[in-house]
Amino acid sequence: MRIHTAEIRWVVGVSELCKWLHEQLEQLPLVEFPFALNRLPRNGIYFFYETGENWGHGDNRPRIVRVGTHKDGNFRSRIAEHFLFDESKMNFNSLKPAPHERSIFRKNIGRALLKKREDEYLQTWEIDFTSREKRVKLGHLRDIQKEKELETKITEILRLNFSFRFIELNVQAQRMGAKGLESSLIGTLAHCKLCRPSNTWLGSHSPKEEIRKSGLWQVQHLKSQPINEKDKKTILEAIRRM
């Protein structure tokens, strides 16, 4: 009985942390496409929101559906890859990687779209074509026209349905890895029992069980411990600097 009570308290505690995180981040501007890349920091953590996806803490505020970061100096390039700022990257072929190979966010959206359609091309989409060796060896399996149509749809979905907020954090070790703030943020959201995806959420069609169950467009750090008091202080300081 004591264990059960402790588990309930932990669940409630995580839900309160999730609510706190959402509320604190709402102090920051919401960035929607189109936007200027040079207005973004060079280092930080971003929080994506998705049209139609609301939190579970009392009203219809938007819920965070993805948390992400990057290696030193690459914040702008990561965001640019997600939203495909460089549309010349659509001029790929069987020997060149498609945009989703540079953005796991795009790849996950494509997975869900293909699974929703029960499209057998999902098997090819799952292959990692980032290396030239793999492209030369298995490039014959690719349907480039289908990929371009799918990439166009992914770009449309991201630009129309997704927005984001961010905090600036310059120390990579503070952001990334199992001990970084990113993992604790994801753990907070994933463990919250109140923030659940809507009945029409595209991610519910994902072949990735982790995405379907968590309601988040990612598979890493879902089991991480939630944010602690030190993390909360770091978040608040980053928000104040903004």
Q: What is the DSSP string of 172-233?
A: HHHHSSTTSHHHHHHHHHHH-SS----TT-GGGG-S-HHHHHH-SS--SSTTSPPP-HHHHH
Average pLDDT over residues 129-140: 92
Q: What is the chain's mean pLDDT, rounded?
A: 94
User: How confident is the model over 74-131, as pLDDT tens digits?
Assistant: 999 999 999 999 999 999 999 899 999 999 999 999 999 999 999 999 999 999 999 9
Average pLDDT over residues 48-58: 97
- Do 183 and 231 sit in the same domain of this protein? yes
How far, CA to CA in Å, does 42 sit from each of 66, 71, 74? 19, 10, 6
- What is the structure's pLDDT at 1? 42
Residue that finishes a domain, picked among 115, 131, 158: 158
Phi first, then psi: give them for residue 9, nearest 5 degrees: -65, -40
- CB 140, CB 124: distance < 8 Å: no
The answer on pLDDT for 2 being more than 60 is no
Domain range holding 149? 90-158
Residue that finishes a domain, picked among 158, 176, 199: 158
- Do 188 and 120 sit in the same domain of this protein? no
**Residue 4 confidence class, pLDDT cut points 50, 70, 90:** low
- Do 186 and 234 sit in the same domain of this protein? yes
How many domains does one find in the chain? 2
Q: How far apart are CA 206 and CA 52, in angstroms?
A: 17
- What is the structure's pLDDT at 173? 85
Q: How far apart are CA 42 and CA 3, in angstroms?
A: 45
- Do 74 and 174 sit in the same domain of this protein? yes
Q: Counting beta carbons within 10 angstroms of the beta carbon of residue 70, is it exposed (0 to 12), middle (13 to 18) or buried (19 or more)? A: buried
- What is the structure's pLDDT at 10? 59
* Total-model pTM: 0.94
- Do 7 and 78 sit in the same domain of this protein? yes
User: How confident is the model over 9-49, as pLDDT tens digits?
Assistant: 656 789 999 999 999 999 999 999 999 999 999 999 999 99
- Do 8 and 78 sit in the same domain of this protein? yes
- Do 72 and 167 sit in the same domain of this protein? yes
User: How confident is the model over 177-211, as pLDDT tens digits?
Assistant: 878 999 999 999 999 999 999 999 999 999 999 99
Backbone dihedral region of 150: left (phi > 0), alpha (psi from -120 to 50 degrees) or beta?
A: alpha
Residue that finishes a domain, picked among 158, 189, 216: 158
* Residue type at 206 in one-letter notation: S
